[in-house]
Amino acid sequence: MQTCLILDDYQNAALSFADWARLAPAVQVSTVNAYISEREALVARIEQAEILVIMRERTPFPADLLARLPKLKLLITSGMRNASIDLAAARERGITVCGTDSSPTPPTELTWALILGLARHLPQEVANVRSGAWQSTIGTDLSGATLGILGLGKIGARVAAIGRAFGMHVQAWSPNLTEERAQEAGATLARSKEALCEASDFVTLHLVLSDRSRNIVGESELRRMKDSAFLINTSRAGLVDQAALVRALEKGWIAGAGLDVFDTEPLPADSPFRHLPNVLPLPHLGYVSRDNYTRFFTQAVEDIEAWRAGTPVRHLG
């Protein structure tokens, strides 16, 4: 019998979103519903598993961790890209790495939940209603406002379409974005990143994190934004200089931020993002939806079956 361990199952939901019984009795499946940050504790918990199923970029798998998992033969990640897995080290150790499909719809929808929550001060007003107060804030109109999108890929283009439906002026920028591609998505190509930050009432990030894009929004960009503008990040925390963002929020360079991603997750208790009143923080829910979970875990079962048959599918690297 082979052992399969599903990590980062925070909601105790993984086993209910796929027919894992298809793998029995050849594969015994269990889950871990708490994040294990300490390396020795993590190794002790997973070192007996031959198959691991992980959420993309939750628990990193660098070369030194893979070296301590001699029994590991199959590593499955949600999504078809996971920058926190050392694929070269996995190949060297004979570990097969496979992925799953992932829908761009849930993070698109969550981006708009954050935009609307910030624009209409929903956390404050909900708290006020619960405490007996009534109407203490004035909302920001979306119609006629400017939406700036950094990254106009699958998610960014969907965000742009919704912005147009709200009657917003949509502009976009990324290092390789062309005017033709921007027009196809219904956006205007900003002449520069700086110009986008200066003109936008809402700036939302939808870029892939890489050495080139890390800290693509830093102090200079944040200072260029309007003091009435909001920053939204549902992509990767590393796209924004986190220390500069804290200063921007504390000093009022911008009006607020909606954040679903952080350098350290789960967010530490002493993180300023937990306590700043102009931050709408979420616990990395971008991908968390019933449809996506069904896709992730159903395809994880398929990945295991195909690998056991000697014909891996959705093979990465």
284 given a catalytic annotation: yes
Q: How far apart are CA 78 and CA 55, in angstroms?
A: 5
Beta strands in 194-235 (DSSP E): 202-205, 230-233
- What phi, psi does 223 have (nearest 5°)? -70, -25
Q: How far apart are CA 117 and CA 179, in angstroms?
A: 31
Q: 290-308 and 105-119 helices cross at what angle (nearest 10)? A: 150
Beta strands in the chain (DSSP E): 2-6, 27-31, 51-54, 74-77, 96-98, 146-150, 169-173, 188-189, 202-205, 230-233, 256-259, 279-281
Cα 219 to Cα 53, 194, 202, 227, 262, distances in angstroms: 38, 11, 17, 14, 17
- Of 198, 265, 302, 305, the catalytic one is 265
Going across the sheet that includes 279-281, the strands are 188-189, 169-173, 146-150, 202-205, 230-233, 256-259, 279-281
250 given a catalytic annotation: no
Q: How far apart are the first and last CA of the chain?
A: 27
- Of 158, 284, 295, 314, the catalytic one is 284
275 given a catalytic annotation: no
Q: Which amino acid is at 8?
A: D
- Of 206, 236, 295, 314, the catalytic one is 236
Q: Which amino acid is at 262?
A: F
Q: 105-119 and 122-131 helices cross at what angle (nearest 10)? A: 60
Q: How far apart are CA 6 and CA 1, in angstroms?
A: 16
* Catalytic (active-site) positions: 236, 265, 284
